[in-house]
Amino acid sequence: MLPADSFKGKVAVVTGGGTGLGFAMATALSELGAKVFITSRKEDVLKAAAYSISSSTGNDVLYHAADVRDPESVKKAIDSLVERAGLPDIVINNAYVPAAASPLGPGMRADCCVAASDRAAN
């Protein structure tokens, strides 16, 4: 395991962070000191997850409802992240999008990483 505070002062974003593996990764990052920002489609799930992670780790957890299939929704989430926590140091794109449902076309995946790196470049 990594030493305590390995990610202190770092900002981590986890898509699909409200449940399952995303929740577990967000919790681990928070335990290691990262300021965590989670996204998923359901705000009530995010609110509960943020509260649960924050309660167990003692660190603030931010959230913003977003659908990675909708580029405008992703842009709003990244804008919220940057305004509230700064640019991310860590991006975990855990949200599932079937390739056929991707706004980028068949065989392409919607990617929060693209929005974050575009924002960093501008």
Classify residue 113: in a domain, yes or no.
yes
Each residue's pLDDT tens digit, 76-94: 999 999 999 999 999 998 8
Asked if residue 122 has pLDDT above 90, the reply is no
Each residue's pLDDT tens digit, 16-64: 999 999 999 999 999 999 999 999 999 999 999 999 999 999 999 999 9
Each residue's pLDDT tens digit, 111-121: 554 555 555 55
How many structural domains does the chain have? Answer: 1
pLDDT, residue 28, reads 97
What is the extent of the structural domain holding 56? 11-121
Between CA 7 and CA 122 the distance in angstroms is 25
Classify residue 2: in a domain, yes or no.
no
Classify residue 4: in a domain, yes or no.
no
Classify residue 65: in a domain, yes or no.
yes
Classify residue 3: in a domain, yes or no.
no
Classify residue 5: in a domain, yes or no.
no
pLDDT, residue 97, reads 66
Write out the DSSP string of 83-113. Answer: HHH-S-SEEEE-----GGG-TT-TT----HH
What is residue 75's three-state secondary structure? helix
pLDDT, residue 14, reads 96
Classify residue 82: in a domain, yes or no.
yes
> What confidence tier does 99 reach under pLDDT thresholds 50, 70, 90?
low
Q: What is the CATH number of the domain that holds 85?
A: 3.40.50.720
Classify residue 52: in a domain, yes or no.
yes
